[in-house]
Structure 1
Amino acid sequence: MDVRGGGAVGYRSAEAVARAAGELIGGDGGSVPEYEALLDAVVRLAGRDRGALAAALQPVVEQWPGPYQPQAAAARRLLAVVRSAAGPVEPGPAEASRWLETCQHEAVDLVLAARAGEVCSLLRRGAVVPMLLATSDSADGTLDPRELVMRLTEYEQAGARPGPADLGQALLRCGGGPADPDVVSAAEELELPEGPRVAAWLRAGGLPQPELTVEREPGEPEPPSRRRRARVGRRILVGTGELPGRGDFPRPFWSLFRRFEPLIGCNHLLLRSRERHAAAALPWHPEIVASRLLTQVAATADQNGAGDGSPDFLPALARSSGPAGPAVHLAVAYGLGARPDAARAAAVEALAGLAARGRLDGALLGAHLARLVLLGTLKLPVVTASLREAAEAPGGAAAVWPVAAAALPELLAPPAAGGPVRPHVPLLALAADCAAACGARGTVPGVDALAARPGSAPSTREARRLHTTLAAPA
């Protein structure tokens, strides 16, 4: 199947759709293009030959009888859509989106669920639309505004109305600045009632970026405990300010627009919403996504590796097209200190992805890592091992050097309670290796004093090696 064209274009038959559905539902829901193409193909083919599609999908439904559900959230959404497409048609009015905001961390999951639920309702009612508006063939979930206007034109020609959740998701995927004037003009010429709203959205450049606040959990770090899943350190989290325009979106979207206060507790469950499709829901706003799911990422580091969801979330977050700020870098920091191997590997991949796109703020990431280590939330040996793995990749030393250089000053500073500095030799060695590999020059606070110590302790030797490299002629 070729998913680049999206929708049914890449599927030659209903049987091909069924095979893809079985594979994606039996796995993790697939990549963003695969997931999106399958949703779109089911909707398109249901409008052309519902009987053939239902017959082809029936064996897939039978693999998941009754209450049985896949583990991955994306796979569960696909299964719900497939069950609706394989079931009987029950004509009736459009169903209102079910909405119960029980937890402010579920905002992105509510958006994904609302769109899938809307597709299920459309299929159960036997309604026919040309395609899904929000379908993206990009790995990061972005949607070209020109493509959206073309799809809306097809809706207009077919006499169809956009689903509120599908249109809302499509608009969230259009951003990065004002659209071309000719695209905005084409949207203004639409006779659909949604035309003026779409034109205004594209003219404004999409959803504005929220104000961000970095907040530390109050209180002192807890003493070590042997209790299962007990946390020792304190977390650093990110809040987002309120955004305008929520009234134009379906109610399940409203939580995204509300002010997010990360220190407000809730009795939420970790609902496996840490997935690559969460990042693709708001590809121009990774800070919103990261801030809402930061507690789940942190759980992989400070709760014995607990926390449902896919480690692929971090690389997907790094692929996002929007600005990467404190929430994204904190997510990577927690991932670098995670206990599960897969979570650390994903964080290393995310670090490399940010660096390759010129979006890595090494100083910010290093500062986050140092603070979390000093709070006892992350273990420095684990973090250093992850950074070493990142540095060994092609071009990795240049990416890791500013991270290590920013972390060292805080870690080498005398403790507030007094006492000697206890430098971490592997981190100093990593910094020296990276500095030599990328030709770094300059100074790092704390390194000169450590290098000037008498004796030949391992930390002193590594500090001298780093000092010598940084002081060498350019």
Structure 2
Amino acid sequence: MGHVAGGGVPATPAAVARTAAELIDADGGSVTAYEQLLDAVVRWAGRDREAIAEALRPVAERWGGVHQPRVPAAARLLAVVRCAAGPVEERAEADRGEARPWLETCRHAAVQDVVGARIAEICGALRYGEAVPMLLATPSRADGTVEPFDLVMRLTEYEQAGARPGPADLGQALLRCGGGPAGEDVVRAAAELALPEGPRIAAWLRRGGLPQPGAAVVREPGEPERPSRRYGARVGRRVLVGTEPLDGRGDFPRPFWSLFGGFEPLIGCNHLLLGHRERHAVAALPWHPEIVAARLLTEVAATADRDGAGSPEFLPALARSAGPPGPAVHLALAYGLGAHPDADRAAAARALLDLAGQGRLNGALLGGELARLVLLGTLRLPVVTESLGRAAGVGAGAGRGAGAVWPVLAALLPGLLAAVRSGAVSRPHVPLLALAADCAQGCEARGTVAEVDAFAARPGSAQSVREARRLRDVLAGRRP
């Protein structure tokens, strides 16, 4: 992932307007394009407000009064463009000083609250003509991370310009700094800032940012039920992830506080399927994909066991996060492999390969959860098999795909074959056994899987038994 931090003001307001029109008409763009546009609008508003307003006015007018893009990221960009294109207003006395009260309505929306709070702050500054040199939280890299050195250099420019950081922009910048303690020179430079926020920033960088929360995997209570004719969904069969609370929320704006609170995944709400899954949600916490995945796991699951809307960009973005993937990320991947929308299944296959290519895929964890979700009736095994086959085929020739998928299948098969032996499942899924044999052969896997050996020892010539024997022989190094 290349370094994307930029300095200076974009060439012309017209260039900013062209980019804004393109991104708003599309899906808001990549994290890099989206963030650089926000930064460009803010920089030009501080340098020549009339010029940027004139350039952006046709973009704002083309959408008309209440018309909004359907994609949340594009809608946020349009809101910023409208504020930059409009006249400068005088801030009411009631809006000065203390921030407005904040009512938390849904902890599933915690990440989106952070994204929205920063956009609202940018819009407010543009509406009231409050100029700043640049945005502090513009990512240094394409995954959304901010280098501590870049943040301190930006704050130095703020100090020289006599500007104060926006609380939400600074809060987002700090959440994007992580991965371990910053270098002592950077910490010292932060501590020497004359800004009131300097000591807090230095302490944050010294301890390496937001810690990783503890997590607990939980299953919804109750036994699986037959699909409802009305909703096409069963009861009591999802596996979700909760996270423990974190300290330090008082240093952040109120909309950020929910992120620091403990998350209980079995507490429902009325705000679950609002399309919060997007690459920009992942980029809000690039060092903490587990927090993002845990909060949005119900949305991902809905693509598999309900008619949830797709979001193909989400899982690959999770896979590219800088932070460590854990149970929530792997469960999100499992639900994605069983999703109804084909684009989401393809995205899950890419995410699997991305994690494997980075050496961060826990095949045993993913395979075990896939088996559990299939046996609970949450995921359909033919759909999962098709998705895993797609991932295995992507890397054909070099063995990358087969090598990535085989550990998943090695952990998936024992649970399913044990269920066949106990009678919980009537018969094994032949295409899954065939895929396992192909993957094992493609990556030259060796070893034994006890449940496969036991099934292969069954008498008869059923196709499932033949495929189990082929897999057993491949693992034993015997030629077919």
Partner of 1:362: 363
1:440 to 437, 445, 462: 445
Equivalent positions of 1:174-193 (< 5 A) are 174-193=177-196
Note the 1:42-57 alignment, pairs <5 A.
42-57=41-56
In the other structure, the counterpart of 2:239 is: 236
For the Cα contact (< 8 Å) 1:215–1:236, is it kept in 2? yes
Task: Tell me the equivalent position of 1:458.
Answer: 463
1:267 aligns with 2:270: yes
Asked if structure 1 preserves the Cα contact closer than 8 Å seen for 2:222 and 2:235, the reply is no
User: CA 1:266 to 1:417, structure 2 compared with 1: closer, same or farther past 3 Å?
Assistant: farther
Is the CA contact 1:242–1:259 (under 8 Å) kept in the aligned structure 2?
yes
Matches within 5 A, 1:241-390: 241-304=244-307, 306-307=308-309, 310-390=311-391
**Quick one: which amino acid aligns to residue 90 of structure 2?**
P
Alpha-carbon shift at residue 94 of structure 1 (Å): 6.6
**Which residues of structure 1 form unaligned runs of 5+?**
none
Q: Shift in Å at residue 231 of structure 1? A: 3.3
- Over 3 Å counting, the alpha-carbon distance change for 1:353 and 1:94 in structure 2 is farther
Give the corresponding residue for 2:402.
397
Note if 1:81 corresponds to 2:80.
yes
Report deviation, 1:444: 1.2
Question: Hey, what's the Cα distance between the residues in 2 that align with 1:439 and 1:167?
Answer: 50
Q: 1:449 aligns with which of 433, 450, 454?
A: 454
Q: Compute the displacement of 1:232 (Å).
A: 5.7
1:4 aligns with 2:13: no
Task: Show the counterpart of 2:40.
Answer: 41
The 1:89–1:272 alpha-carbon spacing in structure 2 relative to 1, beyond 3 Å, is: same
Note the aligned Cα RMSD (angstroms).
1.8
Residue 475 (structure 2) aligned to one of 447, 454, 470: 470
- SS of 2:75's equivalent in the other structure is helix
Structure 1 counterpart SS, 2:339: coil
Say which of 416, 431, 438 aligns to 1:411: 416
AA at the equivalent of 1:21? A
Distance in 2 (alpha carbons) for counterparts of 1:420 and 1:370: 12
Mapped to 1, the partners of 2:98 and 2:63 lie a distance apart of: 25
Aligned partner letter, 1:323: P
Tell me if the contact between 2:338 and 2:379 (Cα under 8 Å) persists in the aligned partners: yes
* Mapped contact 2:420–2:427 kept (Cα < 8 A): no
TM-superposed deviation, 1:137: 4.2
Q: Are the equivalent residues in 1 in contact too, given 2:3–2:140 (CA < 8 A)?
A: yes
Contact 2:140/2:147 (<8 A) preserved: no
- Taking the aligned partners of 2:250 and 2:110, their CA distance within structure 1 comes to 15
Offset, 1:64: 1.5
In structure 1, distance between residues paired with 2:422 and 2:104: 44
CA contact (8 A) 2:32 2:142 kept: yes
TM-score normalised to the size of structure 1?
A: 0.96
Q: Is 1:221 paired with 2:220?
A: no
Match of 1:163 among 151, 163, 166: 166
CA 1:232–1:384: 2 relative to 1, 3 Å: farther
User: CA distance change for structure 1 residues 420 and 234 in 2, over 3 Å: closer, same or farther?
Assistant: closer
Counterpart AA for 1:413: A
Does the CA contact (< 8 Å) of 1:284 and 1:323 recur in 2? yes
SS of the equivalent of 2:450 reads coil
Structure-2 residue corresponding to 1:117: 120
CA offsets per residue over residues 36-74 of structure 1, 9 Å max, x none? Answer: 000000000001111111111111111211221111111
Distance 1:94 1:137, change over 3 A: farther
Offset of 1:398 from its aligned partner?
0.4
Structure 1 residue 266: deviation in Å?
A: 0.8
Query: Could you tell me which residue of structure 1 aligns to residue 58 of structure 2?
Result: 59
- Residues 156 and 192 in structure 1, CA contact (< 8 A), matched pair in contact too: yes
Q: Distance in 2 between matches of 1:472 and 1:362?
A: 22
1:424 is aligned to 2:429: yes
Distance 1:3 1:14, change over 3 A: farther
Instruction: Give the total of aligned pairs.
Output: 470
Between 64-73 and 401-410, the greater mean CA deviation after superposition:
64-73
> What is the SS of the residue equivalent to 1:446?
helix
Q: Distance in 1 between the 2:77 and 2:140 partners? A: 17
Whole-angstrom CA distance in 1 between matches of 2:450 and 2:426: 13
CA offset at residue 271 of structure 1? 1.8
The secondary structure found in structure 2 opposite 1:392 is helix
Cα shift at 1:472:
1.6
CA distance in 1, matches of 2:429, 2:235: 20
Query: What pairs with 1:4-23 in structure 2 (closer than 5 Å)?
Result: 4-6=4-6, 9=9, 11-23=10-22
Provide the C-alpha distance between the structure 1 equivalents of 2:440 and 2:3, rounded to a whole number of angstroms: 43
Cα deviation for residue 96 of structure 1 reads 3.1
Give the match for residue 140 of structure 1: 143
**What do residues 321-340 of structure 1 show as CA deviations (whole Å, max 9, x unaligned)?**
10100000000000000001
Question: Is contact 1:189–1:195 with CA below 8 Å preserved after alignment?
Answer: yes
Range with bigger deviation, 268-277 or 241-250: 268-277
Moved more, 364-373 or 84-93: 84-93
**Is the contact between residue 7 and residue 39 of structure 1 (CA under 8 Å) also seen in structure 2?**
no
Does the aligned pair in 2 maintain the 1:397–1:437 contact within 8 Å? yes
Change over 3 Å in CA distance of 1:201–1:70 after alignment to 2 = same
How far apart, in 2, do the equivalents of 1:122 and 1:107 lie?
23
Question: Which of these residues, 196, 199, 216, is aligned with residue 199 of structure 2?
Answer: 196
The one-letter code of the counterpart of 1:426 is P
Tell me, yes or no, if the aligned pair for 1:134 and 1:170 is still in contact at 8 Å: yes
TM-score of the pair, normalised by structure 2: 0.95
CA distance change for structure 1 residues 114 and 94 in 2, over 3 Å: closer, same or farther?
farther
Q: Does 1:26 align with 2:25?
A: yes
Gaps of 5+ in 2: none
Letter in 2 for 1:6: G
